[in-house]
């Protein structure tokens, strides 16, 4: 029988749902049945206590089409959201199939929005469809004194590899890390930048740097998942003003700010602007 025949039958259906969570080349694979399922040479593992969702909806409203998945509290992908969530989003692809049939269909595509633990032994993963991002307002380029470009982006043009600094974390608190390497740079050199470190399979986590004094970097979101002796890479920040852009990065031609912008507003009521 085909997938459609099993899907529309009164008693022959044996539905199984496959959940593929992915971040880059990292994969977490689960299925809703009582046994492991192999699809495209990948093993989707069954879970003790089961994994289910509240149904796929297609209302045309992205917020209403969000999906809630209930799974064991110890689910590996859910554990990544204990405390601080991952730096990059984790995508979710849901496949539907019937036991004994080789045909597998993609039913839903989205990403994890949040994870919570309503019970000691269960977690709830809320996922939103990809088209939900289309409902978010986009950024607009405006005239302003400070440069609007994000550092190291194509619009900025600065090559981050030319300014990266490798270091080893010598000590840390809940909000800061220390390394003698940072003491060789003037205070504030790394403020507004970020650190990153590998987590395996070519993926990296990162933290934004709030302040830099001596050998201490204070991080936004704290030091969760960072340990003493860990190797990191630090990238300096930018104050988005002309002087820093020129003296620190020699990047004045790409600066997007208007430093001599008038302080007068054309909407202050004065007919002569």
Find, among 18, 71, 28, the residue nearest to 48 by Cα: 71
Which pTM does this prediction carry? 0.79
Say which residue the tokens 């300014």 belong to: 163
pLDDT, position 154:
94
pLDDT, position 83:
82
pLDDT, position 185:
96
Q: How far apart are CA 194 and CA 43, in angstroms?
A: 36
Going along the chain from its start, the domains and CATH numbers come out as: 11-133 (2.40.10), 164-235 (2.40.10.170)
Tokens of 111: 């990403």
Find, among 170, 195, 196, 197, the residue nearest to 181 by Cα: 170
Q: How far apart are CA 237 and CA 81, in angstroms?
A: 27
Contact between residue 232 and residue 197 where contact means Cβ atoms under 8 Å apart? yes
Q: Which residues contact 32 (CB under 8 A, 6 or more apart)?
A: 16, 17, 18, 19, 46, 50, 51, 52
pLDDT, position 244:
94
Distances in whole angstroms, Cα of residue 75 to Cα of each of 41, 60, 121, 176, 200: 22, 30, 10, 30, 19
pLDDT, position 116:
95
pLDDT, position 273:
54
The tens-digit pLDDT sequence of the chain (273 residues) is 677 777 767 777 789 999 999 998 899 999 999 999 999 999 999 999 999 999 988 777 766 788 999 999 999 999 999 888 888 899 999 999 988 888 899 999 999 999 999 999 999 999 999 876 666 666 667 788 899 999 999 999 999 999 999 999 999 999 999 999 999 999 999 999 999 999 888 889 999 999 999 999 999 989 988 999 999 999 999 999 999 999 999 999 999 998 888 777 777 787 765
């Amino acid at each position: 029988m085909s997938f459609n025949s099993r899907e529309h039958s009164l008693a022959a259906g044996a539905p199984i749902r496959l959940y593929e969570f992915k971040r880059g080349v990292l994969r977490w694979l689960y299925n809703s049945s009582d046994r492991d399922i192999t699809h495209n040479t990948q093993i989707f593992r069954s879970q003790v206590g089961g994994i289910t969702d509240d149904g796929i909806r297609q209302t045309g409203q992205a917020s209403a089409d969000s999906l809630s998945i209930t799974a064991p509290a110890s689910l590996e992908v859910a554990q990544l959201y204990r405390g601080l969530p991952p730096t990059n989003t984790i995508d979710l692809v849901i496949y539907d199939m019937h036991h004994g049939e080789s045909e597998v269909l993609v039913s839903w595509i989205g990403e994890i929005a949040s994870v919570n633990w309503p019970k000691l032994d269960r977690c709830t993963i809320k996922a939103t469809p990809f088209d939900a991002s289309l409902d978010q307002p986009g950024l607009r380029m405006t005239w302003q004194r400070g440069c609007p470009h994000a550092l190291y982006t194509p619009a900025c043009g600065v090559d981050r590899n030319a300014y990266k600094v490798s270091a080893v974390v010598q000590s840390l608190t809940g909000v800061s890390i220390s390394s003698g390497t940072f003491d060789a740079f003037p205070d504030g050199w790394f403020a507004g930048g970020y650190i990153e470190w590998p987590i395996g399979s070519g993926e990296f986590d990162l933290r934004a740097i709030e302040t830099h004094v001596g050998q201490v970097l204070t991080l936004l979101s704290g030091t969760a998942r960072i340990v003493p002796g860990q190797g990191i890479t630090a990238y300096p920040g930018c104050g988005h003003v002309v002087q820093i852009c020129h003296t620190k990065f020699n990047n004045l031609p790409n600066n997007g700010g208007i430093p001599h912008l008038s302080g007068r507003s054309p909407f202050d009521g004065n007919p002569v602007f």
